[in-house]
Chains A and B, each alone.
Chain A
Amino acid sequence: MIASAAPADITYTEGDTTLKLKTGKIQDAQIGDTLNTGDTLKTGSDGQAELDQKGVTIKISRGTVFTLMERELAGKTSSVLSVALGSIKYKYDKVSGSEPFIRTNGAVAGVRGTEFTVFSGADGSTLIAVDSGQVDVESEGKTVQLAAAQGVEVPLGQPPGDPIPLKSDQIDYSKWNGDKLASMLADPIGSMTTIQSVMEEYVKNETDYYNQYQASQAQLEQALQTHNQILRDKGVDEAKKYQEDVFLPLTVQTSHLVLNYRYYSLVALSLRRFVAGRMYVTLKARYIANQDAPEWKDFVAKYDNLMSTFEQSIVPRLVDADI
Chain B
Amino acid sequence: MRKLLLAAAACAAAMALASCASLQHSWDQGNVETVAKLINGGQSARLAAMSTTPFLVDGEIVLLKTDVAGFWDGIIKAGYKVEGPVLQSGEPVSPDGYKRFADTMEVRAFFVQYVKKDNRILELKTSAGGKILLIMRDSWFSKTIQGFKGPY
Q: Which A residues form the contact surface with B (CB < 8 A)?
A: 16, 24, 26, 42, 44-45, 63, 65, 85, 273, 277-278, 280-282, 284-291, 307, 311, 315, 318, 320-323
Contact = CB atoms under 8 A, between A and B. Distances in A.
Given A24-B113, A45-B66, A63-B66, A277 B151 contact: no
Contacts of B27: none
B11 interface: no
B151 A288 contact: yes
B65 A323 contact: no
**Interface size for chain B: under 10, 10 to 19, 20 to 34, or 35 or more residues?**
20 to 34
Contacts of B72: 285
Interface in B84-109: 104-106, 108-109
A289 B57 contact: no
B66 A290 contact: no
A16 B79 contact: no
A280 B81 CA distance: 20
A287 B78 contact: yes
Contact of A65 (B60, B62, B63, B71): B63
Nearest to A279: B60
A320 B74 CA distance: 30
8 contacts: A45-B66, A280-B58, A282-B71, A286-B78, A288-B78, A289-B75, A320-B113, A323-B113
In the A-B complex, the 7 residue pairs with the smallest Cβ-Cβ separation, listed nearest first, are: A285-B74, A323-B109, A320-B109, A289-B80, A285-B75, A288-B80, A277-B60
A288 B151 CA distance: 8
A273 B59 CA distance: 11
A278 B78 contact: no
A323 B75 contact: no
Contact of B78 (A45, A65, A285, A321): A285
A45 B77 CA distance: 21
Contacts of A307: 59
A321 B113 CA distance: 8
B130 to A, nearest CB: 9
Given A44-B66, A289-B79, A323 B61 contact: yes
Contact of B61 (A16, A273, A288, A315): A273
With most chain B CB atoms within 10 A of its CB, the pick from A16, A26, A277, A323 is A323
A282 B66 contact: no
B105 A281 contact: no
B112 interface: yes
Contacts of B151: 288, 291
Contacts of A322: 109
Contacts of B60: 277, 280-281, 284
A289 B78 contact: yes
A42 B64 contact: yes
Contacts of A278: 62, 67
A315 B57 contact: no
Contacts of B57: 280-281, 284
B71 A281 contact: yes
B1 to A, nearest CB: 58
Given A282-B74, A284-B57, 14 more contacts: A44-B65, A44-B66, A85-B64, A277-B61, A278-B67, A281-B67, A287-B78, A288-B74, A288-B75, A288-B151, A289-B75, A311-B105, A320-B113, A323-B113
B70 interface: yes
A323 B110 CA distance: 7
Contacts of A44: 64-66
A294 B66 CA distance: 28
Contacts of B64: 42, 44, 63, 65, 85
A291 B62 CA distance: 21
A286 B76 CA distance: 9
A281 B109 CA distance: 19
Given A281-B62, A284-B58, A291-B151, A323 B106 contact: yes
B104 A273 contact: no
A96 to B, nearest CB: 33
A285 B105 contact: no
A193 B6 CA distance: 70
A288 to B, nearest CB: 5
